[in-house]
Amino acid sequence: MNAPGPSASYRTDTLTFENSFAQLPPAFYTRLMPTPVPSPYLVCASTDAAQLIGLDPAEFTTDDFIQTFAGNRVPSGSIPLAAVYSGHQFGVWAGQLGDGRAILLGDVPGPASGYPTLELQLKGAGLTPYSRMGDGRAVLRSSIREFLCSEALAALGIPTTRALCVVGTDLPVMRETVETGAIATRMSPTFVRFGSFEHWYYKDRKEELKILADYVIDRFYPELRDTPNPYAAFLTEVTRRTARLIAQWQAVGFMHGVMNTDNMSILGLTIDYGPFGFMEAFDAGHICNHSDQQGRYSYRMQPGIGQWNCFALGQALLPLIGTVEDTQAALEPYKAEYQTKLDDLLHAKLGLQTKMPEDGKLVDAAFALLQANHVDFTLFFRRLGSLKIDDAAADEPLRDLVLDRPAFDAWAADYRARLKQENSDDSSRKIAMNAVNPKFVLRNYLAQIAIEKAQDKDFSEIKKLLRVLEKPFDEQPEHESYAQLPPDWASHLEVSCSS
Ligand code: AMP
Ligand code: MG
């Protein structure tokens, strides 16, 4: 973990809240207090996330930090609120949703994040007017998963909301069984979603739609202000970011699991971690969310769904953009942006420095090999980095991952020929490939082990796993066991929308 830098100077009680979102008209949210919980305790906290807001990690163990991020003590200057939004869930218009269990404390300066401020939000902090049938709470299991995966994706260089900490409580929370309650603190420049815009569009409230769009553009896309149609330019920029984000997901085998429009960030960040998963035995049709029977959000569907969601946003922005033609034109770049980004990422994953006309075939053949043999996605690309052009014997650990050895040999021969075409050098290629093909990802079973220990109030495994995931590209030979194939028992693990 990084040592706290000189900027890490704030204490919990000296964080200065700006409450930007609270300055929007009251129609956008409901001001309310988090509901206190009994006997809160620290489960985990991220030093890297704390550094983004200059918070001293020494705070983590203080009573003030724990009470604050349990929702028991509202920090001075914070104007807590729950935001309203709507959305399409599994392709169907769901009407009003909103922060049913999340409470925004407000934004604090976040100089290291690349944005002026970061909002702090408590997830699982109690009932809000948007809780519908829910209890306003979150369980320890899903909070730990969100915490670990936010920080893991950030370390992989994938845009995401961040996780500051998880606080546990003795408050029992009812799901399929009685579970331990928890509050996760997330950080993001904004939590505005595609569904925040859909909300006003479907209510036919153009004024609020414009207020929200102006707020987001002024704060996060100020460079678009001077374009001929800032709303069209805004849609294009969100479309591009979304396309690039999903290309990044595909390239590391990340599956979000619930790509509803209310779970799509207006900044192109990964947001709302639920039944996500990382691809293990490769299957393009893999569905990581047990509740998603149709496979709407399977791995292979993600790019198309990302585009579908951008169209839903486009529909909502149409009254501001003006015409259907301009809206369609603004959405146009999705496919090309996605393809270009994915192509760049896949070239890098294969250690190719140049682009050649036949590369598409080589890539397709690699994926066909992975698919036919259900090869572990992460291990395949990581081990591929150690391939030597003139020494096939060195392929053994890689070849062992593929059941159909002759098929592997045929592909490897084509790959070697391609590497020779650009005079690829084994050692520099390995360094480059290891910088893009992670050795460590948050496999479900790793999270499960950490969760089970945490249920017994042993949080050491979360800490250890976080440390491993913070350096996903490093060899970390002492943590070899975290890079292995999942054990047999992991095949029975199921994650669903229950959280
Ligand atoms: P999700 O698909 O998990 O992002 O949640 C969809 C909607 O349900 C959001 O409006 C959430 O705030 C709300 N929600 C999910 N779980 C709960 C809960 N336990 N209590 C209240 N609202 C919830
Ligand atoms: Mg959500």
Mean pLDDT of 108-136: 96
CA 325 to ligand 2 center in whole angstroms = 31
What span, in angstroms and rounded, lies between the C-alpha atoms of 170 and 167?
A: 10
Q: How distant is the alpha carbon of residue 150 from its chain centre?
A: 6
What span, in angstroms and rounded, lies between the C-alpha atoms of 312 and 91?
A: 10
Split at pLDDT 50, 70, 90, the class of 439 is very high
Mean pLDDT of 301-309: 99
The string over 285-312, giving b where at least 16 C-beta atoms fall within 10 Å of a residue's C-beta and e elsewhere, is ebbbbebbeeebbbbebbbebbbbbbeb
pLDDT of residue 492: 86
pLDDT of residue 441: 98
Q: H-type helices in 6-139, by residue range?
A: 47-52, 63-70
Q: Is the CB of 274 under 6 A from ligand 1?
A: yes
Q: For ligand 1, atom 14, name the residue with the nearest CA.
A: 100
Percent of the chain with pLDDT over 90: 97
Q: Is the CB of 88 under 6 A from ligand 1?
A: no
Positive or negative: CA dihedral 396, 401, 407, 408: negative
What span, in angstroms and rounded, lies between the C-alpha atoms of 184 and 462?
A: 14
Q: Is the CB of 98 under 6 A from ligand 1?
A: yes
pLDDT of residue 12: 97
Q: Is the CB of 95 under 6 A from ligand 1?
A: no
User: pLDDT tens-digit profile of 241-293?
Assistant: 999 999 999 999 999 999 999 999 999 999 999 999 999 999 999 999 999 99
Which member of 99, 107, 262, 326 is catalytic? 262
Which atom of ligand 1 lies closest to the CA of 85?
10
Domain boundaries, the chain: 352-423
Q: For ligand 1, atom 8, name the residue with the nearest CA.
A: 100
Q: For ligand 1, atom 6, name the residue with the nearest CA.
A: 97
Q: Is the CB of 168 under 6 A from ligand 1?
A: no
- Among 186, 198, 262, 276, say which to mutate for ligand 1: greatest number of ligand atoms within 8 Å of CB: 262
User: pLDDT tens-digit profile of 30-55?
Assistant: 999 999 999 999 999 999 999 999 99
Q: For ligand 1, atom 17, name the residue with the nearest CA.
A: 134
User: Reduced to 3 states, what is the DSSP secondary structure of residue 74?
Assistant: coil
Q: For ligand 1, atom 7, name the residue with the nearest CA.
A: 97
Instruction: Report which of 207, 165, 176, 175 is spatially closest to residue 67, judged by C-alpha positions.
Output: 165
Split at pLDDT 50, 70, 90, the class of 499 is very high
Is residue 474 flagged as an active site residue?
no
Residue type, 304: G
Residue type, 221: Y
Which atom of ligand 1 lies closest to the CA of 138?
19
- Among 37, 131, 498, say which to mutate for ligand 1: greatest number of ligand atoms within 8 Å of CB: 131
User: pLDDT tens-digit profile of 313-340?
Assistant: 999 999 999 999 999 999 999 999 999 9
Percent of the chain with pLDDT over 70: 98
pLDDT of residue 1: 41
pLDDT of residue 181: 98
- 2-11, 116-125, 182-191, 479-488: segment of lowest average pLDDT: 2-11
Beta strand 254-255 with 162-174 is unpaired
pLDDT of residue 2: 45
pLDDT of residue 8: 65
Mean pLDDT of 168-174: 97
CA 261 to ligand 2 center in whole angstroms = 9
Please check the confidence at residue 465 and state whether its pLDDT lies above 80.
Answer: yes
pLDDT of residue 4: 43
Q: Is the CB of 395 under 6 A from ligand 1?
A: no
What span, in angstroms and rounded, lies between the C-alpha atoms of 399 and 335?
A: 34
User: pLDDT tens-digit profile of 380-419?
Assistant: 999 999 999 999 999 999 999 999 999 999 999 999 999 9
Q: Which ligand is nearest to the CA of 126?
A: 1
- 76-80, 133-137, 487-491: segment of lowest average pLDDT: 487-491
Q: Is the CB of 174 under 6 A from ligand 1?
A: no
Q: Which ligand is nearest to the CA of 136?
A: 1
What span, in angstroms and rounded, lies between the C-alpha atoms of 186 and 474?
A: 26
What span, in angstroms and rounded, lies between the C-alpha atoms of 476 and 483?
A: 10
Q: Is the CB of 101 under 6 A from ligand 1?
A: yes
pLDDT of residue 7: 58
CA 53 to ligand 1 center in whole angstroms = 27
Residue 179's beta-bridge partner residues? Answer: 173
- 5-14, 142-151, 204-213, 459-468: segment of lowest average pLDDT: 5-14
Please check the confidence at residue 207 and state whether its pLDDT lies above 80.
Answer: yes
Split at pLDDT 50, 70, 90, the class of 491 is confident
> Mean pLDDT of all residues in the chain?
97
Q: Is the CB of 124 under 6 A from ligand 1?
A: no
Residue 409 tokens read as 């040999």
Written as one string, the DSSP assignment of 79-145 is --EEE--EEEETTEEEEE---SSEEEEEEEE-GGGTSSEEEEEEET----TT-TTS-S-EEHHHHHH
